[in-house]
Structure 1
Amino acid sequence: MRKNTIDIITLGCSKNLVDSEKLMKQLEANGYKVTHDSDHPQGEVAVINTCGFIGDAKEESINMILEFCQAKEEGRLKKLYVMGCLSERYLKDLQMEIPQVDKFYGKFNWNELLADLGKAYHSEFAIERHLTTPKHYAYLKISEGCDRKCSYCAIPIITGKHVSRPMEEILDEVRLLVSEGVKEFQVIAQELTYYGVDLYKKQMLPELIEQMAHIPGVEWIRLHYAYPAHFPEDLFRVMRENDNVCKYMDIALQHISDNMLQKMRRHVTKAETYQLIEKFRKEVPGIHLRTTLMVGHPGETEQDFEELMEFVRTARFDRMGAFAYSEEEGTYSAKHYKDEIPQEVKQQRLDALMELQQEISADLSHRKIGQEFKVIIDRKEGDYYIGRTQFDSPEVDPEVLIKVENHRLRIGSFHRVKVYDADDFDLYATIVK
């Protein structure tokens, strides 16, 4: 147990990670040594940044808290603090049920932790962070909260209404990160396409991304978590005209049958969804689309599921994730629908969907054999350098493996490669001289 050392443990999404990085910077400004490794905690204080999105994430957060409570009881930890989405949502319940935790904070008041430690919040570091990612890329959170009211989703309950960050503040943060060596930005929000509506009375995502693209040193910009209804179509032009805006869009579609889209309160139809995908591919040639789909939402019939399977066959998404519905208290679904689809049926549908996607991914990967791509090198692992193309986001997407022999590559450097082999997801490539 190291004196004056604090362990930060982050669970859940990259938006949580940004909050942890901001807290780490503030703690360091107050003289603490800070680590970010849940497997090897060293400090006398631990802060767990929790996720409360779906059942599995909540369970993981609870288990992590209990693990650190045990460390505290055994004298391996002096103080334990909990923050983040789970804490925001179940603050009073957690206080009663896990009294070993010294204090629970919500998602937005974590800076009170500094005062409780007898330290000050340094406003001069408001846009600064201690990056936990490799130093060549960073996540950039442009807003918080969500005004959508999808039936199944607890995010608006946890985060509240959509609040955009001022554009100048975001651009200042980008310039600062570039000066620290960041070349690649993963732009994130609960809902990207709503950016600017609260501050500027119109969707400002295209303008923000265009201004980011003009900042010297910004090599790649990748967009995550868009919403299909009222998509800001000027973004197509921005992606087409700016080489450093990756031809990649992460857009959660959830389902395709009109019956399910209506039940899910998605404010988009099957026909509009197909049109949007067609428009993406026509307006931004070569774009790779990532989506997330859901099975087992109340009311999903076998016919609805067959429509979803046919959609995946037809759309041939480059990247796809899926999950089974789990009821979240307080949501529209929990109040108005019965969660009556058996768990084994949900699992069967999920397995069938992912099996289909694996076949599509394998086919799309093999079609890249013989092609050349620009890649960024993330790390060295065993006999390979591991890189990514503009079509691959860190952690969630396929990677490019380049044999170490005959090459000395710098982490964070860009190279041109030629693909010589592929498996279901990853590519194998050699450097093009």
Structure 2
Amino acid sequence: PEGVAPVSGPRAPLRRRLDGSPVASVKLASGCDRRCSFCAIPSFRGSFISRRPSDVLNETRWLAEQGVKEIMLVSENNTSYGKDLGDIRLLETMLPELAEIDGIERVRVSYLQPAEMRPGLIDALTSTPNVAPYFDLSFQHSAPDVLRAMRRFGDTDRFLELLDTIRSKAPQAGVRSNFIVGFPGETEADLAELERFLTGARLDAIGVFGYSDEDGTEAATYENKLDQDVVDERLARVSRLAEELVAQRAEERVGETVHVLVESVGSVDGEEWGAVGRAAHQAPETDGQVQFTSGEGLTVGRIVEAKVVGTEGVDLVAEPLLGSLPCTEEAAR
């Protein structure tokens, strides 16, 4: 039907656009094959099942016809896309095809597993025109003992090395992550190790959550749980640190030229900012935004160059450079 996305397959999402936003999500897969001890998702969403590339491409073409300028690829673990189709590097192959679709000006990939990051995927995310150099990396913690209890892999130094590799290829790359504090068995030394990682990682956005049991998970059966007041204290402590660090990271971007997708023009929350949008390092709703010093000449859905002249917490304040050539994500690297 007119206005309804093309679909195929038993799990294909039938969708109709309900608004005129220049941004839309596109589902890459359903389910998850990882068995993190704190997560119940595999128990009710099943195994990881990738959508066929043709379906993803067709849906993106349809969205472009509806006026979408940025697509965000979503699943429980985008680094695994294609493994059940016989090609674990399918995402690297598909990204250039998505980015070349007429009308699509930015492709963003969400939710990546640090332990599954590979050189080819890093290269694709940092060097493909119109693909945002953006890394939503699910670190969760950085202390080895806690990660093992979570059934995850890595440590502070390996994670920092991964970030160094990314930034060596794309210095302005955006990185965000979520973390769980107060996990069963977490010691003060473990928490200090997490703080060491956060301080060195220079993340653009940080989500911090206190551990709580999820029914049906392995972690819910652990006996070495922390008292709730300890969990709450650690949550407050790390949240304060995270807030300071993301504000510092935003300040580091003052003077940078960023490429901003304009999402609204006019007043925002009662304040006359002129226009608001998001740079390549900012995902919708979670990572802050760019507040323009002037909305003159700006239209929703356009990507414009802007110079960062200040910050408001995690948000950037930027002056649009309207005399610039049309922008692509290639110029943002």
- Shorter-chain TM-score bucket reads 0.7 to 0.9
Aligned length: 312
What residue in structure 2 maps to residue 392 of structure 1? 282
Question: TM (normalized to structure 2)?
Answer: 0.87
Of 93, 112, 122, 1:207 maps to 93
Counterparts of 1:397-408 in structure 2 under 5 Å? 397-403=287-293, 407-408=296-297
Give the percent of matched residue pairs that are identical in Structure 1 and Structure 2.
Answer: 32
- Following the alignment from structure 2 to structure 1, what is the Cα–Cα distance between the partners of residues 22 and 303? 11
**Secondary structure of the corresponding residue to residue 151 of structure 2:** coil
Matched, 1:424 2:313: yes
**Counterpart among 143, 148, 157 of residue 29 in structure 2:** 143
The aligned amino acid for 1:235 is L
1:334 aligns with 2:223: no
Q: C-alpha distance in 1, partners of 2:115/2:84?
A: 17
Cα deviation code 1:304-345 (max 9, x no counterpart): 01110111011121211111111011111123x026212221
- Match for residue 163 of structure 1? 49
Of residues 131-140 and 268-277 in structure 1, the stretch that sits farther from structure 2 once superposed is 268-277
Paired with 1:133 and 1:190, the residues of 2 have a C-alpha distance of 25
CA contact (8 A) 1:213 1:221 kept: yes
Instruction: Give unmatched runs, 5+ long, in structure 1.
Output: 1-23, 27-120
Aligned to 1:372: 257
1:20 matched to which residue of 2? none
Name the SS for the 1:245 alignment partner: coil
Match of 2:82 among 192, 196, 201: 196
Alignment RMSD, CA only? 2.2
Who is 2:248 aligned against? 363
Work out whether 1:230 is the aligned partner of 2:119: no
Deviation at residue 279 of structure 1 after TM alignment: 1.8
- 1: distance between equivalents of 2:290 and 2:189? 38
**SS at 1:386 equivalent:** strand
Aligned counterparts of 1:171 and 1:398: Cα–Cα separation in 2: 28
The partner residue of 1:348 within 217, 230, 233 is 233
Q: Structure 1 residues 342, 208: CA separation in 2 closer, same or farther (over 3 Å shift)?
A: same
**Cα–Cα, structure 1 residues 128 and 333, in superposed 2: closer, same or farther, change >3 Å?**
closer
Going from structure 1 to structure 2, the CA distance change for 1:372 and 1:276 (only over 3 Å counts) comes to closer
The C-alpha deviation readout for 1:355-414, integer Å capped at 9, x for no partner, is 112222222222322332221111232412111111111111111112456x14222122
Q: Is the 8 A contact 2:156 2:197 kept in 1?
A: no
Give the match's secondary structure for 2:111: strand
Change (3 A) 1:122 1:357: closer
2:15 to 124, 129, 138: 129
1: CA distance, partners of 2:13 / 2:97? 18
* Residues 134 and 378 in structure 1, CA contact (< 8 A), matched pair in contact too: no
**Paired residue type of 2:177:** T
Contact 1:280/1:287 (<8 A) preserved: yes
**Structure possessing the higher radius of gyration over alpha carbons:** 1
* SS class of match (1:320): strand
